[in-house]
Structure 1
Amino acid sequence: MNRSSLRLAQLTSALTRFEEVLAQPKNSFMRDSAIQRFEFTADLAWKVLQSVLEEKFGVRANAPKTAARLAHENGLVADLPSWLTMIDDRNLTSHSYDEEIAEKIYVQLPRYAALAHTLVEALK
């Protein structure tokens, strides 16, 4: 199994767990759980892009936004603005915990799950 296939399998598993928590009634525990699952799903999503870009297109991307832009240029990602916003929100979650930011990001999580789901389906 090559690196992109392994990472795609990991992303698929992470996305399943992410979608499971999003289906639960919201409370602070579920919100925080969903944000944590978003973090590792977003990390795996950009790493899948990184691997696919290198293996299929011979293009190197060493940062999430670079990977998203190159994936868009190579037809792997259609909605680049949403990907860039998702990456920005992922970065916000890792630097400090703030209730207001958590709430702002939580409402976007279904959209981010859909982006990851679209990527998984496109690469299968």
Structure 2
Amino acid sequence: MALNVQHLNRTIATLEQALLALAQQPATPNNMLFDLYRNAAIKSFELSLETAGKLMRKALKAFEASPRSVDALVFNDVLRHAGKHGLLSSDAVERWLAYRANRNNTAHDYGEGFANDTLLLLPAYVQDVHSLSVALQKVFDASA
């Protein structure tokens, strides 16, 4: 089975659609559609971030002598290695570390303020994950 980024691209598309729908809703108290689309955007962010991490791990195995060493990396180290091997720029690594920190907080903080803070990250995240998707597919194509 060839490695590809189709599932990642699907999660990105879902996130983009949630953000578009959210933009059509006023952020007023008791607007259930706003809450629904905000929650969908945040869950899509979480899913795409986890998917991106798994794909980065797979791509890094093409650069490492020992694939098991990649399996032992924690997520933040996966991001640093992705920067080291050109999958992410050094600036992008810093942004991805912030996305990951935010994602870790969304798992433990369910407040409305925190959810709205997460929304502020998403436009840049969408651009970054698109760029990563292209870089990952190049690695997968080269190793096929």
- Structure 1 partner of 2:120: 107
CA positional deviation for 1:100: 1.3
Which residue number corresponds to residue 95 of structure 2? 82
Partner of 2:18: 21
Q: Kindly report structure 1 stretches of 4+ aligned residues shifted beyond 4 Å.
A: none
Matched to 2:63, the amino acid is: F
How far has the Cα of 1:72 moved from its partner?
A: 0.3
- Matched letter for residue 19 of structure 1: E
TM-score scaled to structure 2, two decimals? 0.77
Q: Please, what TM-score do these two structures have when normalized by structure 1? A: 0.89
CA distance in 2, matches of 1:84, 1:123: 18
Residue 42 of structure 1 corresponds to: 49
What residue is the counterpart of 1:97 in the other structure?
A: 110
| Aligned position for 1:60 | 70
Shift of 1:50: 0.6
**Any conservation in 1 of the 2:55–2:136 contact (CA below 8 Å)?**
no
Deviation at 1:46, TM superposition (A): 0.9
CA distance in 1, matches of 2:94, 2:103: 14
Letter in 2 for 1:75: G
Structure 1: where are the runs of 5+ without partners? none
Structure with max Cα Rg = 2
Q: Any idea what SS the aligned residue of 1:69 has?
A: helix
Question: How far apart, in 1, do the equivalents of 2:11 and 2:115 lie?
Answer: 20
Per-residue CA deviations over 1:42-80 (Å, capped at 9, x if unaligned) read 1001111111001x1125153221110000011101111
Structure 2 stretches of 5 or more lacking a match?
26-33, 138-144
User: Which residue of structure 2 lines up, in the alignment, with residue 73 of structure 1?
Assistant: 84
How far residue 19 of structure 1 moved from its aligned partner, in angstroms, is 1.2
Partner SS state of residue 70, structure 2: coil
Identity of aligned residues (%): 28
